[in-house]
Structure 1
C-alpha cells in the first residue's frame, strides 16, 4: 500500500507542477516505474472481459482449418458453444460429452474452445483439466476425492463463473465420483450460494469409439461419403452405449444434464496427411507433401485388409515425423 500511495503522490506532483514540454529525469524515471507497475498488474489474469471474451469467428475458423475429418463435431460444437457464450443468463451449465476413437481430436477441440474464450487459452487460471487415472488413482480414497473434488469445483466457480472444466478418460472415473458432479450440472439457480450456470463442462471419453468406427465403416462399404453421416445416426446409440458401459448413471441422461453427445469419426489417410502438414508447420518446418504422405502411409490402419481408418488417428504423427526426418 505504501508503494501505491507513493506512486499516486508522485503522479499528482509531476502532473500538476512539471510543464508538459519539459524533460525531467525524475519524471522519466517515474514513467518507467509507471510502465513496469502497469505491466505487473496487467499480467495478473482476472475474471473479466479483458481476459475472457468469446471469439465465435475465431472458433469457427479454427474448427474449419485445424480440426480434420470431423464435420459433425465441428458443427455441433460451434453451435453449442456460441449459443451458450452469447447468453448472459443461461438456465444451466453447458455440458458436452465427446466420444470417439483415440487421436481423432477430442482433446484438441477442447483446446480450441479454450483458446477462443480465454486470453491465456489452456494456460488460463480458469481452465481446469482432470485425468481420471492421474488425479483419482486410488479406489480406496473415493470419499476423500469426492469431498476435495466438490470443494475444488465450488471454489473455482466462486472465483470465476465462466470457468471451464475438462474431464479426460471419463469412462474410467469411479461411479461414485461421477455422482459427485451431478449437482453442478443441473438446473439450479444457486447451489450453496454459488451459481454454476455459466460454467462449461467437457467430458472426454473413448467410450463408443468402436460403434462410431463401425458405423463409419458401414457407410464406406456402402459407397457413401463420410459427410453423409449425421448426428442422428450416432447420438442415440452413443448415449445408450455410455449408459450400458457404466459411464453415466441414468439420472444424468434422464434429467437431460448432457446437452450433446458428440461423436468423433475415425480418421482416414487424407486426414492424417493434414495432421502431419499441420505438425510440420507448428514445428517451424517447411510443409513437405511427400514427407506427410510417407508418415501417413507408415501408420497402422484398420481393418487390416482394407486399411480405411488410422488405428490411432493422428496421435502418433509427432513421433513418426521425427523418425522420418532422421531418415531424410
Structure 2
C-alpha cells in the first residue's frame, strides 16, 4: 500500500512520498471553460479531468487562467473546499505518471486555529474512492477512513524538530512554535511531549487570518510608489520564497523583500505576538521556534519580544540541504509511517507495479 504525506496550503501544496521524496506545486486551481484553448508546456499532472470537467492546477492555472477564474485559496474556509482534491490528484499524477489503481494511506493537516472545528470535514473530503484522468493516464485511488489521519500543521513541525534537534530533552520541556503560512500564522506549544491547547491558538486567535497574503498586500503600495512595480498578490507571494524581486528595464533593480517587509510586519503580526506573550507568559521557560520560509520575514520582529527565538532551520540555496518549507509535511510523514508502519510500502516498488 502506498503512503503519502500531504499539506494543501493556501500558497503551496507540499508532499512527501517514498524515501523522503519531497515536492510541491503552487496551490492554484481552476476549471477550464474553453477546452480548445491553446495550452503549451503544461505537464500532464497539472491537467486533471474529473468526469466531464477539466481543471488546470499549479503553474498551469497561474499562467493560463485569469485570477477571477481561479479558486480563492486564501479564504477562511479553504480547509473545507473540495477543490483541494484537484491539487491532491495533481500530486498523485506527478508521483505516478503512468497511472494508479489501488489503496493509499494519507496524512493531511490543517492550521492549528482550524483544527478543532474543521478536521472532521477536512478528513471526509479525502476519504473514499477517487477517479480522475490526465491526458495520458487513468487513476483510481481509494482511501479508507482508517488509513487517513489529520494533524495540526504545527504538530508536524514538532515531529520534524524532534528528528533534527540536538537537544534530546525536547520531550521534557515547553516548546513553542510559530508557523507563518500563506493564510494564517500557526501558534502552538508542546509541553512534555503533549500538545498544550491552553498555550496554543484556536479558531478565535488573531493568527487565524494573519498570513503572508496580508503581508504581501501591505507592501503592494510601497512597491508601486518606490519602484513603480504594480504586482499581483500571487507574484509577491512567489517572490517571498526567493527573497527578492528582480526588475528589468533601463536600470536593473533587485528588491530585497526582507528590507521592505520589516517596515510592515507589525501591521500583520502585532496582534499575534501580543496574544503569544499573554499565552506563553513571556516565554522565558520555553524554547521558541519560528518555521521557515515565511519565518525569515518574522524572526526579527519575534525576537523583540522573545529574544531567544530561533529559526527552526534557515533556508539554503544548496540542493543537497533540506528545504525548511517541507518541515511540516516531513513531520506528517514521521507520524504516518509510525501509525501505518505495518502496511507502508516502498513507493518505488508500487510505481513499478502500476507502470
Do they fold alike, i.e. is TM over 0.5? no
TM-score range, shorter chain: under 0.3
Bigger CA radius of gyration = 1
**Structure 1 or 2: more strand by fraction:** 2
Question: Greater helix percent: which structure?
Answer: 1
Could you state the TM-score of these two structures normalised by the residue count of structure 1? 0.27
